Amino acid sequence: MKLKICHLYPDVLNLYGDGGNIRCLTQRLRWRGMEAELVKLPIGSGESLAGADLIFIGGGQDFEQQVLLGDLHRGRDKELCAAIEDGVTVLAICGGYQMLGAYYETHDGQRCDFIGALDLYTVGAKKRMIGNYMFRCADALGGMTVVGFENHSGRTMLGSGAEPLGKVLAGFGNNGSDGTEGAHYKNVFGTYSHGPMLPKNPDFADLLLRTALERRFGRAELEPLDDALERMAHDEMCARLEREKT
Amino acid sequence: MTFRAFLAIVLCKLLRLVSRLLHRGGTAMPGRWALRVCPGLLGILAKDVKTVAITGTNGKTTSARMIEQAFADQGKSYFANRSGANLLSGITTEFVMNSTLSGRCRKEYAVIECDEAASVSVFPQLRPQVIVVTNLFRDQLDRYGEVTHTLANVRAGIQGAPGAKLCLNADCSLTASLADDLKNEAVFFGIDPGACPPGEKSELSDAPHCIRCKTEYQYDFITYGHLGAFRCPRCGYRRREPEYAVTQVVSQTAEGSGVVLCVRGESRLAEVNLPALYNVYNAVGAVAAVTEMGLGADAGIAAVEHFKCGFGRMENFALGKAGAKMMLVKNPAGCNQVLDFLCQVKEPFALVVCLNDRGADGTDVSWIYDAAFEKLKACGGRLGQIAVSGDRASDMAVRLKYAGVAPKALHLERNYEALVQWIDAQERPVFIIPTYTAMLELREAVIRRVGGAEFWE
């Protein structure tokens, strides 16, 4: 069994060790005797998303945003929307997550149009939301607790067409006010969780793999792995955030 | 001088005295209080001091120690902020401690390393004669933000010091761009194309796009990271020919590097007294600064040949059967350079990685996934056990597991006393790579066992 994993814009959306997520996905497939084909799609790449089982989009710096938007609006946006409607599994983090929404409005009112695949938008604020945080995924997704690090000034608001990925247990999440974190639509998982997110949230990593495998092969049996180190890192951060709350 | 400034000086000196009586460093706190009393204090004290300031992401402390060595060798009357307290408060403390109660500085020169984010508040008061900018890399994004923000900070700081001559890294497209719009006189230092084996083009470049027009750079040569002979195919922005150039790296060993240094057209041999290519940059930058301060290139070269850095920068300790070497890491670019150094070690060794996430380390540990720990695979059987420690030891262990290290080769030890014992029991040489606050704590634990200098000495 083999999954095709596409890393979108690894050349500019590569902040905060987001590449670690790709390493985690491919390793967890290989440790189980499955294969992963990794395709990198930098700016200007003519290669299509066709046949992608899992698309990863990370976060980036403001400096390169115009370069990115130019490329996005040359057709990558429509292709990405089509893949999402088709049920391809997508993990989008921070800037990549915001990019799937309708638009980003800066705090002084300038609007930047995004691809509108998800019913959400983001408004810039002056104060950044920075720190370790955790959230609990929706029950339908398994209800696992995810720990990560958030660093964003954008406040994301969900419309009725997108479900929150989870509920904030500690930290800010989407906007610091409504207690939601991330978004879930079809097989798209959007989140503010850097960390990188997947290595120390093995249950969430396996959720992505299972979703992609089920779509491709109609079934997905994931052998359990020895995640003792991963769970230790995860549980320590949970405990620390609980301690800091009190 | 105003009465306010006098009060601030008295307060600062008193607080420092109390700190030392309590066996604390007292490097930043006294200055912080003094600045509350008299916000412009640094400007008053620094007025008549000839200062060389060093800023940039990596190499500040090492470069400052190299430059300082030249002042010491020449018998100059100088002081330096050796403790690593490089914010406005720490620099102010240092000036107060070297001034009389009437605010007159007792030294002719100062060698001051300055945090890149603090440069905007420090430079306008410090008014240095020479400012060295070593390089700019992505660093602690939770604290500094994007690297272009840091660049803007440094630029704004230099704008407040129009009389300063700039020594800029020609190979760093971000740093070199400071000469674009600043009116300051500037000289450049760098490593010429072909002077050393080319580094690989990193997928995770910190500056892939032109700072002027956002077109992707092309490179004729890369030393490491985004450093090298860059040029923009669209707007023509490119590396300048440096006045201070390393034209050849003749030898690279675990003790140091032999280089051919070309100073304004004249070539000389120099043996840099610290290993790894990033220290070659620090050396050529230091020679540029020393020369521009008027001490002469020979003084600069002699200094880089025999200076000792210590304080966690390739610092040796008599621990274990074969010794231990501590190499501070702070960000992906610096960490990759340390990993490259480890790959070149010929003999079997043990490794210690200490990861903290306190304010001075950066609270976001994500960067460990941007550092290529996968390189360790190239060490093969030479790399024995890896001890992992620090506040975020388990995150580090997971990172190493995903880099291909077998979990059974990992030794998790959170207690520094026990860790130092573990290091002392090793037959092989031990390389220790801690983040900043982990370095301070571990160094203390090491010194308790084998002796050494306190951090402010």
Q: Domains plus CATH for chain B?
A: 3-306 (3.40.1190.10), 313-450 (3.90.190.20)
CB-based contact A20 B402, cutoff 8 Å: yes
Task: Name which of A45-49, A58-62, B291-295 the model is least confident about.
Answer: A58-62
pLDDT at B455: 55
User: Is B399 an 8 Å CB contact of chain A?
Assistant: yes
Cα gap B375→B303, rounded to integer Å: 33
Enumerate chain A positions whose Cβ falls within 8 A of a Cβ in B. 10-12, 14-20, 23-24, 27, 43, 61-64, 66-67, 130-132, 149, 151, 194-196, 199-200, 226, 228-230, 232-233, 236
Reported confidence tier of residue B452, pLDDT bands at 50, 70, 90 = low
For residue B350 the two structure tokens come to: 């043990």
Task: Name which of A27-31, A180-184, B22-26 the model is least confident about.
Answer: B22-26
Reported confidence tier of residue B278, pLDDT bands at 50, 70, 90 = very high
Element (H, E) at A182: none
CB contacts, 8 Å: B363 with chain A: 130-132, 149
CB contacts, 8 Å: B204 with chain A: 14, 19
Query: Looking at the predicted structure, is the pLDDT value of residue B453 above 70?
Result: no
CB contacts, 8 Å: B395 with chain A: 200, 233
Query: Looking at the predicted structure, is the pLDDT value of residue B63 above 90?
Result: yes
Reported confidence tier of residue B310, pLDDT bands at 50, 70, 90 = confident
Q: Which residues contact A110 (CB under 8 A, 6 or more apart)?
A: none
Nearest residue, CB atoms, A196 vs list B141, B142, B369:
B369
CB-based contact B363 A132, cutoff 8 Å: yes
User: Is B372 an 8 Å CB contact of chain A?
Assistant: no
Cα gap B448→B40, rounded to integer Å: 40
Nearest CA in chain A to B369: A17
CA distance B240 to chain A (A): 23
pLDDT at B360: 87
Mean pLDDT of chain A: 94
CA distance B362 to chain A (A): 10
Query: Looking at the predicted structure, is the pLDDT value of residue B55 above 60?
Result: yes
CA dihedral sign, ordered B381, B387, B392, B394: positive
Helix/strand/coil for A103: strand
User: Is B146 an 8 Å CB contact of chain A?
Assistant: yes
Q: In this predicted model, what pLDDT tens digit does every residue of B75-122 receive, in sequence order? A: 999 999 988 889 999 999 999 999 999 999 999 999 999 999 999 999
CA distance B394 to chain A (A): 5
User: Is B203 an 8 Å CB contact of chain A?
Assistant: yes
CB-based contact B364 A194, cutoff 8 Å: yes
Mean pLDDT of chain B: 94
pLDDT at A62: 77
CA distance B368 to chain A (A): 7
pLDDT, average across residues B399-421: 95
Q: In this predicted model, what pLDDT tens digit does every residue of B284-296 receive, in sequence order? A: 999 999 999 999 9
Q: Where are the beta strands (DSSP E) in chain A?
A: 2-8, 35-41, 54-57, 89-93, 103-105, 111-113, 120-137, 145-158, 166-170, 180-181, 183-185, 188-191
Nearest residue, CB atoms, A229 vs list B148, B367, B394:
B394
Query: Looking at the predicted structure, is the pLDDT value of residue B457 above 60?
Result: no
Q: Which of B394, B396, B401 to mutate to test the interface with A (most CBs of A within 10 A)?
A: B394
CB contacts, 8 Å: B148 with chain A: 61-63
3-state helix, strand, coil in chain B (%, to 5): 40, 20, 40
The four Cα atoms B113, B116, B121, B122 give a dihedral, to 10 degrees, of 10
In the residue annotation, A112 being an active-site residue is answered as no
Q: In this predicted model, what pLDDT tens digit does every residue of A164-206 receive, in sequence order? A: 999 999 999 999 999 999 999 999 999 999 879 999 999 999 9
Query: Looking at the predicted structure, is the pLDDT value of residue B303 above 90?
Result: yes
CA distance A120 to chain B (A): 25
In the residue annotation, A238 being an active-site residue is answered as no
Cα gap B16→B38, rounded to integer Å: 17
Cα gap B308→B276, rounded to integer Å: 15
Task: Name which of A12-16, B66-70, B159-163, B202-206 the model is least confident about.
Answer: B202-206
CA distance A29 to chain B (A): 13
CB-based contact B398 A61, cutoff 8 Å: no
Which of B38, B152, B22 lies closest to B95, judged by CA? B38
Nearest residue, CB atoms, B364 vs list A11, A12, A16:
A16
User: Is B201 an 8 Å CB contact of chain A?
Assistant: no
pLDDT at B189: 98
CB contacts, 8 Å: B407 with chain A: 226, 228-229
User: Is B288 an 8 Å CB contact of chain A?
Assistant: no
Q: Which of A7, A152, A184, A194 is catalytic?
A: A194
- The domain ranges of chain A are 2-245
pLDDT at A108: 82
Q: Which of A94, A137, A184, A234 is catalytic?
A: A94
User: Is B218 an 8 Å CB contact of chain A?
Assistant: no
Q: Does domain A2-245 have CATH number 3.20.20.140?
A: no
Pairs of CB atoms within 8 A across A/B: 91
pLDDT, average across residues B166-180: 97
Q: Which of A61-75, B75-89, B119-133, B144-158 has the highest mean pLDDT?
A: B119-133
pLDDT, average across residues A203-214: 98
Largest CA distance in chain B: 66
ipTM given for this complex: 0.95
Which of B290, B220, B231 lies closest to B67, judged by CA? B290
